Amino acid sequence: MGLPGQDGQGHAGEPTPGPGAVSARPQEGAPRRDPLGIVAGSGAFPAAVAEAVLAQGRPVVLFLMRGFADPALERYPHHWFRLGSLGTVTSLAKGQGVRQVVMVGALTRPRVSDLGFDWTMLRLLPRIARLFRGGDNHLLSGVLQLVAEQGFSLVGAHEVAPALLLPEGVLGAHAPTAQDKADMARGHDVIRTLGPFDVGQGVIVVDGLVAAVEAAEGTDQMLARYGEMRRTGRLRFPAGKGVLVKAPKPGQDRRVDLPSLGPATVARAAEVGLAGIAFEAGGAIVPDAQALVAAADKAGLFVMGMGPDISA
């Protein structure tokens, strides 16, 4: 998932410069040199974002979620924290000079009782509990507001590391058929239609049939469910048919939970017999595009970025 960006709209909690003071905020268009805070969940994305930002000449400080982040991320400047330690991580970030924060990496929805609250979070407990009574959009938008209230500017991974966004067009050696393109258009329409209900970002369409829709289980489990339906004969499609479509939900704050793809997604799509994967161009991120394309080419799958004119 992705988090945080309100650049150009002020930073809550920052002091107002006095007369004659020189603003520490970078001028528009100038590269930032203040450290970016990266709140890291699991997976390869935290390192990919860190490397992309470092390549721009900007320092990073990683805040590693216990139980989720990879210990290998300790090679970067870092602090470990528990999910319920909002006050602690806020103090650490401000002590490092962090004003802008991004949140990347996988994170399963925790139970409120598992958060390990510090005093700041205890004071917010009734509000936190209300955030858990709804879908992911409701929860994530509430988290965004909480982070902003601590005095940070919130940005998305696609804003600080735009090179991780996947482009429009066919990316590998295999191209979709006319039926594949019709399936991906239908899948994109399904995501746009269900988006207001806070349903997931993925759908599988085969020969015009909506075979599976991602809900709370996530993409991997949706693929597994589709594979099981083929294995048991509930669906009788031959291998090499159907498309996994991934796209942000309409109205979704792209600073959080932007769809992501990687070689593991390709492997699972191939395992359950799909023909390829389609994503909204500029609406999905990948830690290593070359590895994604190589995996797709090897598996015989197409990978394609859908343009704005895609429609069933």
pLDDT tens digits, 226-237: 999 999 999 999
Predicted local confidence at residue 2, as pLDDT: 36
pLDDT higher than threshold 60 for residue 218? yes
Say if CB 243 and CB 180 are below 8 A apart: yes
Q: Does 245 share its domain with 287? A: yes
245 assigned to some structural domain:
yes
Q: How far apart are CA 189 and CA 36, in angstroms?
A: 36
Considering only residues 108 and 137, tell me which one the structure prediction assigns the higher pLDDT. 108
Q: Does 148 share its domain with 212? A: no
Considering only residues 250 and 264, tell me which one the structure prediction assigns the higher pLDDT. 264
Place of tokens 């300790």: 74
Least confident of 6-15, 21-30, 116-125: 6-15
pLDDT higher than threshold 60 for residue 3? no
Q: Does 177 share its domain with 293? A: yes
Q: Does 154 share its domain with 105? A: yes
Least confident of 20-29, 75-84, 189-198, 272-281: 20-29
pLDDT higher than threshold 80 for residue 259? yes
Q: Does 243 share its domain with 182? A: yes
Predicted local confidence at residue 159, as pLDDT: 93
26 assigned to some structural domain:
no
Q: Which of 162, 197, 225 is the last residue of a domain?
A: 162
Average of pLDDT values for 37-59? 93
12 assigned to some structural domain:
no
28 assigned to some structural domain:
no
Q: Which of 113, 142, 162 is the last residue of a domain?
A: 162
User: What residues form DSSP beta bridges with 70?
Assistant: none
Confidence band (pLDDT; 50, 70, 90) for 1? very low
Please report, as a single letter, which amino acid is at residue 51. E
Q: Does 199 share its domain with 94? A: no
pLDDT higher than threshold 50 for residue 6? no
Confidence band (pLDDT; 50, 70, 90) for 150? confident
Indicate the Cα dihedral angle 116, 122, 125, 126, nearest 10°. Answer: 160
3-state helix, strand, coil in the chain (%, to 5): 35, 15, 45
**Angle between the N-to-C axes of helices 289-299 and 263-271, in degrees from 0 to 180, rounded to the nearest 10:** 20
Q: Does 147 share its domain with 177? A: no
pLDDT higher than threshold 50 for residue 59? yes
pLDDT tens digits, 159-173: 999 999 999 999 999
User: 245 exposed, middle or buried (CB, 10 Å; 0-12, 13-18, 19+)?
Assistant: buried
312 assigned to some structural domain:
no
Predicted local confidence at residue 7, as pLDDT: 28
Helices (H), the chain: 45-55, 86-95, 119-123, 125-131, 136-149, 157-160, 178-194, 219-231, 263-271, 289-299
**20: helix, strand or coil:** coil
Q: Does 52 share its domain with 174? A: no
Q: Does 153 share its domain with 272? A: no
Q: Does 222 share its domain with 252? A: yes
125 assigned to some structural domain:
yes
Q: Give the pairing type, strands 100-104 and 276-280.
A: unpaired
Confidence band (pLDDT; 50, 70, 90) for 20? very low
User: 191 exposed, middle or buried (CB, 10 Å; 0-12, 13-18, 19+)?
Assistant: buried
Q: Does 279 share its domain with 197? A: yes
Predicted local confidence at residue 11, as pLDDT: 32
Q: How far apart are CA 202 and CA 190, in angstroms?
A: 9
Say if CB 224 and CB 272 are below 8 A apart: yes
276 assigned to some structural domain:
yes
Q: Which of 162, 197, 214 is the last residue of a domain?
A: 162
CATH number at residue 211: 3.40.140.80
The whole-chain average pLDDT of the chain stands at 82
Longest dimension (CA), the chain: 75
Q: How far apart are CA 197 and CA 194, in angstroms?
A: 6
- Closest C-alpha to 176, from 311, 306, 312, 309: 306
Q: Does 170 share its domain with 293? A: yes
Give the total number of structural domains in the chain.
2
Q: What is the residue range of 173's domain?
A: 165-306
CATH number at residue 96: 3.40.50.20
Predicted local confidence at residue 252, as pLDDT: 75
Q: How far apart are CA 188 and CA 199, in angstroms?
A: 13
115 assigned to some structural domain:
yes
**305: helix, strand or coil:** strand
